[in-house]
Amino acid sequence: MKQDPGVLIVGPGSIGRLLACRWILAGRPVRLLARTSRQEALLARGMTLTDTRGKRQPVRGAAGARKTQGSPWPRAAFFCVKSGQVRGALAASRPWIGPETVVVALQNGLGHEDAFRRAFGKARTIIGSCFVAAAPDGDRGVRHTGGRRILLAGCEADARAVEAAGRLLRAGGWKVRVVEDEAGMLWTKLVTNASVNLLGAAANAPNGDLVRDPGLAAVLARLIREGTDIAKAAGHPPLAPLDRTIPRACKNSRHQANSMLQDLRSGRRTELQAIAGPFLAVSDRKGVPADALRMLARVVARLEKKAVSRGGK
């Protein structure tokens, strides 16, 4: 029987670990490419997955990419790195990605699309958006706190690659939807991140508080309106009615501290520029109001400066 070459996870943070755990439990071989071989070795010793019902289980079987160099090329590589780490991740991943490996970018923000296509070509490069909430649980664990939807942008040029990536993701238990409007997909995720992440980070509040607290809920609604208006002005209206879907997602992941808030609490730099920058640029260029987004961006920038100075990262 031909050996299953499995998948490569580039950036085993919260989302990367969650993808890895779900594939391992489904019987798929998984390799992890982290920023350091030490982190790869740590995760390869075994991870823990806590699902949305609170059930915790050990997950073993991942391999560090550096230890498996020379093995068959992975069937697909999934990139789950911070927006500021894309360039480094593309360069570092080349030794482990074969000429026919499908490449899936699950990044926040805009602008990474061209970088991935330049690196790997249009036919096997897929841009995706992950509507999943997850949080780290110690050095080797991950908690899945809500969401199962992953969108993949598809066109005629990458149809075979999209089909292959979709099969892999569904095998891991994810709900996959293929969309033709790549820019609309990215702006939909961007509005979601700009609304939830900025407010949660500024208020030091989990997602559930953003809809449970009347004051925060009012601010969230305004952020969604501003973000939607700016996305429309940019020519890329969201693919869903976000005034309904975002509050519902917050309720379904009520205990989740969003990734920007996780970064602040850990003393790390956030993805503030990648998430807020496109909105403010369109607001300035088109004259679309962005008062709430602009104010919260300034607040988070100050919080980040203080957090990084304390954490030294």
What CATH number corresponds to the domain at position 60?
Answer: 3.40.50.720
Give mean pLDDT, residues 186-206: 97
Judgement on whether residues 136 and 67 belong to the same structural domain of the protein? yes
Judgement on whether residues 162 and 188 belong to the same structural domain of the protein? no
| Residue/partner pairs of 141-144 with CB below 8 Å, 24 or more apart | 141/17, 141/47, 141/48, 141/49, 141/50, 142/14, 142/17, 142/18, 142/21, 142/47, 142/48, 142/49, 142/50, 143/50, 144/18, 144/49, 144/50, 144/51, 144/52
Judgement on whether residues 167 and 205 belong to the same structural domain of the protein? no
Of the residues 180, 209, 224, the one at which a domain ends: 180
In a domain, 140, yes or no: yes
In a domain, 21, yes or no: yes
Residue range 117-142, pLDDT digits in tens: 999 999 999 999 999 999 999 999 99
Diameter over CA atoms, the chain: 61
Judgement on whether residues 225 and 246 belong to the same structural domain of the protein? yes
In a domain, 204, yes or no: yes
Number of independent structural domains in the chain: 2
Split at pLDDT 50, 70, 90, the class of 1 is very low
- Residue 144 domain boundaries: 7-180
Give mean pLDDT, residues 195-217: 98
pTM of the model: 0.95
47/139 Cα distance (integer angstroms): 9
Q: Cα dist. 46→24, 38, 40, 64, 281 in Å?
A: 11, 13, 10, 11, 43
Q: What pLDDT score was predicted for residue 2?
A: 59
Judgement on whether residues 132 and 241 belong to the same structural domain of the protein? no
Split at pLDDT 50, 70, 90, the class of 215 is very high
Residue range 11-42, pLDDT digits in tens: 999 999 999 999 999 999 999 999 999 999 99
Residue range 50-59, pLDDT digits in tens: 999 999 999 9
